[in-house]
Amino acid sequence: MARLEAVQGDITTQAVDAIVNAANTTLLGGGGVDGAIHRGAGPELLEECRTIGGCPTGEARITQGYRLAAKHVIHTVGPVWSGGQRGEAALLRRCYVNSLQLAAERGLRSIAFPSISTGAYGYPIARAAEIAIATVRDGLGKPTSVELVRFVCFSAADLTVYRRLLDG
């Protein structure tokens, strides 16, 4: 069984096979995680993203990591929180399923996730973390090359939420 861990830190400094970007459907960059990853990777990342032509919510696309410590960036687009009655949970789950699937297809062994949708997209952290951990645990129960999944929390408060769920 692969190892799941939660740390507090910056996703852009994680030396793993792939870091996951909390992108938008254009894949042309933004603020938060998206902005930090593009700043860290350099302009070639945007050039490669342009060739992809966007990404629907809930899906994931993989690129090189360029100047980042990570070899790859898996871009996934989380749902915008609108009260929880518009299928947000299912879409958020698909972000984690599709990101893990891309990693396994490429034989990657380590992947780091930020808290998808919990910043600009307003998804409540506790609900999002519950979905993240449950979905990743389920995915790691199936054949996969992934041996390490790291949840990278930007704040100590978010780390507490993840740690409580992981230890629970």
In the complex, the smallest distance separating the C-beta of residue 146 from ligand APR, rounded to whole angstroms, is 19
Nearer to ligand APR, 35 or 43 (CB): 35
What is the closest distance, in whole angstroms, from the C-beta atom of residue 30 to ligand APR in the complex? 2
**Which residue's CB is nearer to ligand APR, number 14 or number 144?**
14
Considering the complex, state which of residue 144 and residue 154 has its C-beta at the smaller distance from ligand APR.
154
Contacts with ligand APR, residue ranges (CB under 6 A)? 10-12, 22-24, 30-36, 78, 114-121, 152, 154, 158
Transcribe 61-124 into DSSP letters.
EEEE-TTSSSSEEEEEEPPPPSSS-SSHHHHHHHHHHHHHHHHHHTT--EEEE--TTSSTT---
Q: Is 162 within 8 Å of 6 (Cβ atoms)?
A: yes
Residues labelled as active-site residues:
34
The DSSP symbol for 13 reads: G
Minimum Å gap between C-beta 62 and ligand APR is: 17
- The span from the CA of 19 to the CA of 153, in Å, is 13
